[in-house]
Structure 1
Amino acid sequence: MSLLELTARNVKRNFRLYSIYLFSMITGVIIQFTFSSLMYNEDIIDALQNRANFQTGVGIASLVVFLFIIFFILYANSFFMKQRKKEFGMYLLYGLNERQITRMVFYETLIMSAISLFTGILIGGLLSKLFGMLLMNLMHYDQVISLSFPIPSIAATIGVFILLAMIISVQSHIMLNRVQLTELFHAKQKMDKPVRISSVWAMIAVLLLGMAFALISSGKGSVFWQDYATVTMIAVTIGIIGGTFLFFRQFAGWLLQAVSRRRKYYEGNTMLWTSSLRFQIRGNTLNLTFISLFSAAIMLLLSFMTINYKVQFEAVGRNLPNDIAFESLASETNSQIDSLIRSSGHEVRYHLTQEAIMADPVSDMGPAFENPEYYTPYLLLVSEQTYNGLMKERDPKQILDLQGEEAVTLAQGSDFPQSYAANRRPEFTVKTDAETTFRIIEKKDYAYLGWSSDPVRSMVIKPAVLVISDETYRSLREHADKKSFQIYGIANAGRAEELSKQVHAIVTETPGAYYSSFADVYSKQIEGSSLMLFSSGFLALIAIFALASVIYFKQLREATDERLQYTILRKMGVDDRQMKSVIRKQLLFVFLPPLALGILHSWFIIKYYILDSVQDFPGLTAAVWGIMGMYFLVYLLFYVSSTNVYYKIVSETP
């Protein structure tokens, strides 16, 4: 019998095992081809305003996807090879050498790779249309996506899986060479020993996790993060990783031990499911720790990218609140720009000419404007009347009422906006022709003039603006340098890239002239945040599938190893209903703690370091809980599926 014939017989005889491995490979091809094809889809490329950035982003994400696929396929192959160790031992006993077995495995890999490539590319091509439509929907673009099978994507996917087939063959060869013949026959007969449980280490696990959660919940404004950031970060890392490991290594064992000491331990089926778990702690600790931390990372990634995406739509408007704004130039130039805007096809909703006084700060800029390096070194003093005139068009809720030397700093992007009590208002001194000291009544997270922008470089620097009372403005105006600004509100400002380029070219003929346009940033930010959310969602999908595989393969191996024990239980009179109950409770103890810890880890970080920084953006907390709820449902499906598979395996005759 030739090696090819032997390979064919193996596939027929172990179809279920091969089908699991084949499914893993097909999934890898689908993921790789679906994602890479987006980079070459002409419909998507035509709809984008920033094609180079998109292709760079997809290229980087494709590399991450490839690394995930390698990990996933190699893990599946490792499980596949371990399940077949006894089979390989028989081949060695019958006279085949290790080189022949390696060739046989290589043939199997080539056959399954060919099937996977054909099936995966076909399904991936269909899914690429769906995912392309999803990406366009995220970007709010009305673009029809056609079904396509780009040749570069097909070539790249084939190349990836030829390389992967070679890596798998090397992995299989190494695994075969590292074991002795006796090990191959007794590979499934090794039994884990119960871990020695210490109540002290169990308490340390709880203390480490408690320390990590306490430091995280103290907030980034606390003394721990302000003065001892490095030490605190190390402590949190040790607390989360070390605490999670010891939780599964010691606390879980201590909990099982406590259950075993109860008076009712021998009643019902408690003894049946707890005794098995106590022997599995050693082998499951790393897996459960990995699942818990990996789950936290998935939820943290998805939550962060979702928040970033939802915030961007409003954040761009906050950073650049004026559709088009520029420093007033010569009257002829202003008229030329006005004609250009009005003939562009974008309806002009309003046009205001507004004046501001130029001043130099005498006081430190830091308390009034967080991160002063992002602001102009000079100040613009805007009268209450001028400011309110623009707010009537833009946002009436922001209208101010100031008296005397009162002032409001417009520190858009501030993490800690603040209104000051009458007896605690800080003083801020500026200089025009003479020095004037203002009392700041509010540091406002808002912008009057947004970041100066550039169609290529996006945001450059933002003006430092102080809103002062009308009476003070009039007293300073006569002997101060002044600037005026042309501010336009136009319809469909997000699609005014071409208009912005034309206006920018005219304005920048005057060196140093201020220019700001919503369109310069909108498409870049929205396309970028949409791509990041899409990529993170795709990576999360792969990660969840890889995690499901880790759980599934682990349970499949344990169920196969315990089949004899369950056969004995059945002979002792344990019926199917009781066996299902034992399996459900046993697997619940394996599934629930990693999920609970993963949600806790991710929620604490998201709550205190992301959500608290964007409190004025509505609906974000609900979005985070929605993501965690979806993850819980997916995890619940894993649990139900695993219990069913576990029961089917242990019900088979060994």
Structure 2
Amino acid sequence: MNLVDLSWRNMKRNFRLYTIYFISMFVGVVIYFTFSGLMFNEDVVAAIQNKENYKTVILIASIIVFLFIVCFILYANSFFMKQRKKEFGMYLLYGMKERQVATMVFFETLFLSAISVSSGILIGGLLSKFFGAVLMNLMHYNDDISFAFPLEAIVSTILLFALLIGIITIQSYFNVRRVQLVELFHAKEKIDKPFKFSMTLAILSIILITASYYTITISGDTDIWKDCFKETLFATTVALIVGTYLFFRQFSGWILQRMSQSKNYFNGTKMLWISSLRFSIRGNTVNFTFISLISAIVIFGVGFIAVDYAVKGEVVKKEYPNHIAFSSQGNETQKQIEQIMNDSHPIIGHETITGIQTEKIPNRKPFFSHPEYYTEDFYLFPESKLNAIVDLREVGEKVDLEGEEAIVLTRGLDEPKKYKSPQPEITLLEDNTFHIVEKIRYPLLSIPTSPGGNSNLQPSVLVISDEAFEYLKENHTLSSYEIYQIEDSKTSNDVSRKIFDIVMKAEGEGAYYSAYIDMHSIDTESSSLILFSVAFFAVIALFALGSVIYFKQLREATEEREHYAILRKIGVEDKEIKKIIGKQLLFVFLPPLILGLVHSWFLLYYTVILIIKDLPSLTTIIFSVMGLYVLIYLIFYVSSTSIYYKIINEKNTR
């Protein structure tokens, strides 16, 4: 029998163990190919406005995904090797050389990789339509995405996983080489000593976690955060990490010991699962700490990015309320433009506003927080036109001005700012002075845009009384602008391109043009890509974290077969054994999850929820992220209890 035959027989004999390893690699291939496939999918690339930015983000995300997958699969391989140490010891005892054992492992890895890569590419290609549709939905595009198996994605996947096979082989070789033969036979016979805890450290863990939470709650306007931000952030982070570690290392041991000292400790199966946990708590401390902290980071990251995605959509609506706006054109051109809109996105509202362009006003600091974002010349519009636009948009408050009163339209304000006496004054059109009575956030003419995403300075707009405007328009040139509201503006990319070309051709580069979809596309694309990538990272992280616990429990289940065999001999029924396993694994899965959720809630509540108050779907987003995380974690728990029970039953069924 040669090494290839031996490798194949090993895989068939230890099918369950190899299945776990195969799933780890298979999931890695599917996720990586999905990312690389999206980067080269022609339908997706054609729909994206900013193609270079898209490919750059997806490429970086693919690299990060692959590095994460490498670390996870190397961990899975390490677990796989430890489970087989006794088997390798037998091979070495029978005269096989370390190099031959490593070669056998190489063939096994090659077989598994060939199956996982081929099946992963197939499934990844089939899923590409789904994930492409998800991405399009996030970007609010209606483009159809077809099934795709881009050659570039296939080649890159094969090459990178071939590199991974080489890394795994080297790792396996050194794992076999550096362990002594005697150690191999006793690799599974090490048992943790009963856990000892310190009451002082147990209390300290709660103090540190509570202190870090308190510091987070005062992160708003307190001096400690303003004056010593970096130091406070570092101290809070360290306290949270150390507190979490001591919580599992000391406080959980105290809880278990208190439970073992209760009066009903010997009733039912309580003694069995508590004693088992007390012996294994030391070995699980680092894993629990790591899982809690990474869970908090993942939930906070996904929650924060999801909220950012939603907020950007709301901000674009506020800053670019005109679906399409441009300088007034001739009758024929105007009809042509309206026909283009009505062909695919029917007009639901239209208003023409007429204003007066003033001379340049270099000093605009009294009127704008960031005057560099606005034009030096002002545009004067009568109050009636602003009120007409309020009716058109059905958003905003109407104004009522008299005489020389004026309102400055700006952006970035949460609430209108009213000026009391003495009111700021502005002199325009030679000797016409106006008193600024209020500053409000209402872009009558929003920032000029182009379908490519470029923008220009926002027109500085001053709203004056109708009588003042009637007086001024007699001696000054008037400028008119067309403002349209259309149906389904989130999908009007093609319409915007066509109208932009017409307006620019008719009036040249100086013409005014602004469309909601232009900025919506750019902002939504970037935030969608980030959310999509972060969500994938979260799935990988969650899969890896769940697998860490999963592998750990499989190892413990294998080691405890004999213990459960003894329990069966003394009369413990299968129903009771299932309860023991369920309670034992619940203590393993639940505390890290709960602590991770609490950590993330404090971070999200005091850095996001309290700050962003005008987003109705905010809490829904946060709870959805947490709920999904808990659901996936629950699946790992149920799967672990099932496989744990099967493993401890194996010896009895033979």
TM-score (norm 2): 0.87
Of stretches 42-51 and 585-594 in structure 1, the one that deviates more from structure 2 is 42-51
1:566 maps to: 564
Alpha-carbon distance, 1:203 to partner:
2.4
Q: Does the CA-based 8 Å contact 1:326-1:507 persist in structure 2?
A: no
Q: Deviations over 1:425-446 (max 9, x none)?
A: 9964545458766454xx6454
Q: Deviations over 1:629-650 (max 9, x none)?
A: 1221221121122112222222
1:543 maps to: 541
Alpha-carbon distance, 1:384 to partner:
3.5
Q: Deviations over 1:245-269 (max 9, x none)?
A: 2221222222222323333333333
Q: Distance in 2 between matches of 1:371 and 1:609?
A: 25
Secondary structure of 2:188's aligned partner = helix
1:62 maps to: 62
Q: Distance in 1 between matches of 2:361 and 2:195?
A: 70
Q: Distance in 1 between matches of 2:275 and 2:315?
A: 55
Q: Deviations over 1:360-392 (max 9, x none)?
A: 587855xx7566654556766655333222212
2:23 maps to: 23
Q: Pick the aligned partner of 2:634 from 626, 633, 636.
A: 636
Q: Does the CA-based 8 Å contact 1:453-1:459 persist in structure 2?
A: yes
Q: Distance in 2 between matches of 1:554 and 1:85?
A: 16
Tell me if 1:202 matches 2:202. yes
Question: 1:638 is aligned with what amino acid?
Answer: F
Mark the CA change 1:478 to 1:334 in structure 2 (over 3 Å): closer, same or farther.
closer
Q: Distance in 1 between matches of 2:371 and 2:262?
A: 64
Question: 2:383 is aligned with what amino acid?
Answer: E
Tell me if 1:418 matches 2:415. yes
Tell me if 1:399 matches 2:398. yes
Alpha-carbon distance, 1:324 to partner:
3.5
2:597 maps to: 599
Q: Does the CA-based 8 Å contact 1:362-1:430 persist in structure 2?
A: no
Q: Pick the aligned partner of 2:483 from 485, 488, 500.
A: 488
Mark the CA change 1:499 to 1:596 in structure 2 (over 3 Å): closer, same or farther.
same
Mark the CA change 1:236 to 1:143 in structure 2 (over 3 Å): closer, same or farther.
same
Question: 1:281 is aligned with what amino acid?
Answer: I
Q: Deviations over 1:444-482 (max 9, x none)?
A: 4543332232443434443455656667x6699699999
Q: Pick the aligned partner of 2:340 from 324, 341, 344.
A: 344
Q: Distance in 1 between matches of 2:252 and 2:85?
A: 32
Q: Does the CA-based 8 Å contact 1:384-1:468 persist in structure 2?
A: yes
Alpha-carbon distance, 1:559 to partner:
1.4
Mark the CA change 1:236 to 1:64 in structure 2 (over 3 Å): closer, same or farther.
same
Percent identity of equivalent pairs: 47
Alpha-carbon distance, 1:105 to partner:
0.8
Q: Does the CA-based 8 Å contact 1:129-1:145 persist in structure 2?
A: yes
1:579 maps to: 577
Alpha-carbon distance, 1:504 to partner:
6.1
Q: Distance in 1 between matches of 2:638 and 2:26?
A: 23
Q: Distance in 2 between matches of 1:508 and 1:137?
A: 36
Question: 2:629 is aligned with what amino acid?
Answer: Y
Question: 2:19 is aligned with what amino acid?
Answer: S
TM-score (norm 1): 0.87
2:37 maps to: 37
2:449 maps to: 453
Of stretches 443-452 and 59-68 in structure 1, the one that deviates more from structure 2 is 443-452
Q: Distance in 2 between matches of 1:241 and 1:468?
A: 58
Alpha-carbon distance, 1:410 to partner:
4.3
Mark the CA change 1:534 to 1:369 in structure 2 (over 3 Å): closer, same or farther.
same
Paired residues for 1:258-297 under 5 Å: 258-297=258-297
Paired residues for 1:231-380 under 5 Å: 231-326=231-326, 338=334, 341-346=337-342, 349-355=349-355, 360=361, 374-376=373-375
Of stretches 133-142 and 198-207 in structure 1, the one that deviates more from structure 2 is 133-142
Question: 2:98 is aligned with what amino acid?
Answer: E
Q: Does the CA-based 8 Å contact 1:34-1:128 persist in structure 2?
A: yes
Alpha-carbon distance, 1:289 to partner:
1.5
2:383 maps to: 384
Tell me if 1:615 matches 2:610. no
Q: Deviations over 1:566-598 (max 9, x none)?
A: 233333333323222222222111111111122
Q: Distance in 1 between matches of 2:285 and 2:599?
A: 18
Q: Deviations over 1:506-555 (max 9, x none)?
A: 588465x6543223222223333333333333333322222222121111
Secondary structure of 1:104's aligned partner = helix
Q: Distance in 2 between matches of 1:382 and 1:497?
A: 25
Question: 1:114 is aligned with what amino acid?
Answer: A
Q: Distance in 2 between matches of 1:317 and 1:195?
A: 58
Mark the CA change 1:445 to 1:581 in structure 2 (over 3 Å): closer, same or farther.
farther
Mark the CA change 1:181 to 1:611 in structure 2 (over 3 Å): closer, same or farther.
same
Secondary structure of 2:449's aligned partner = strand
Q: Distance in 2 between matches of 1:616 and 1:426?
A: 32
Mark the CA change 1:128 to 1:515 in structure 2 (over 3 Å): closer, same or farther.
closer
Q: Distance in 1 between matches of 2:261 and 2:368?
A: 62
Q: Distance in 1 between matches of 2:179 and 2:457?
A: 64
Secondary structure of 1:653's aligned partner = helix
Q: Distance in 1 between matches of 2:471 and 2:204?
A: 66
1:6 maps to: 6
Mark the CA change 1:267 to 1:638 in structure 2 (over 3 Å): closer, same or farther.
same
Q: Does the CA-based 8 Å contact 2:364-2:376 persist in structure 1?
A: no
Mark the CA change 1:188 to 1:410 in structure 2 (over 3 Å): closer, same or farther.
farther
Question: 1:276 is aligned with what amino acid?
Answer: S
Q: Deviations over 1:18-42 (max 9, x none)?
A: 1211222222222222332222222
Secondary structure of 1:652's aligned partner = helix
1:645 maps to: 643
Q: Does the CA-based 8 Å contact 1:244-1:289 persist in structure 2?
A: yes
Alpha-carbon distance, 1:196 to partner:
3.8
Q: CA RMSD in A?
A: 3.3
1:218 maps to: 218
Q: Deviations over 1:129-165 (max 9, x none)?
A: 2322333333333333333322222211111211110
Q: What are the ranges of 5 or more consecutive residues in structure 1 without an aligned counterpart?
A: none
Q: Distance in 1 between matches of 2:135 and 2:532?
A: 7
1:148 maps to: 148
Q: Does the CA-based 8 Å contact 2:419-2:436 persist in structure 1?
A: no
Alpha-carbon distance, 1:82 to partner:
0.9
Secondary structure of 1:266's aligned partner = coil
Secondary structure of 1:220's aligned partner = coil
Mark the CA change 1:287 to 1:345 in structure 2 (over 3 Å): closer, same or farther.
same
Alpha-carbon distance, 1:73 to partner:
1.4
Mark the CA change 1:185 to 1:356 in structure 2 (over 3 Å): closer, same or farther.
farther
Q: Pick the aligned partner of 1:519 from 517, 526, 529.
A: 517
Q: Distance in 2 between matches of 1:465 and 1:132?
A: 42
Q: Does the CA-based 8 Å contact 2:451-2:497 persist in structure 1?
A: no
Mark the CA change 1:131 to 1:222 in structure 2 (over 3 Å): closer, same or farther.
same
Q: Distance in 2 between matches of 1:571 and 1:64?
A: 51
Q: Distance in 2 between matches of 1:361 and 1:244?
A: 57
Q: Distance in 2 between matches of 1:444 and 1:235?
A: 41
Mark the CA change 1:183 to 1:515 in structure 2 (over 3 Å): closer, same or farther.
same
Mark the CA change 1:52 to 1:556 in structure 2 (over 3 Å): closer, same or farther.
same
Question: 1:136 is aligned with what amino acid?
Answer: M
Q: Distance in 2 between matches of 1:155 and 1:607?
A: 44
Alpha-carbon distance, 1:17 to partner:
0.9
Give aligned pairs, total: 641
Question: 1:608 is aligned with what amino acid?
Answer: Y
Q: Distance in 2 between matches of 1:306 and 1:176?
A: 45
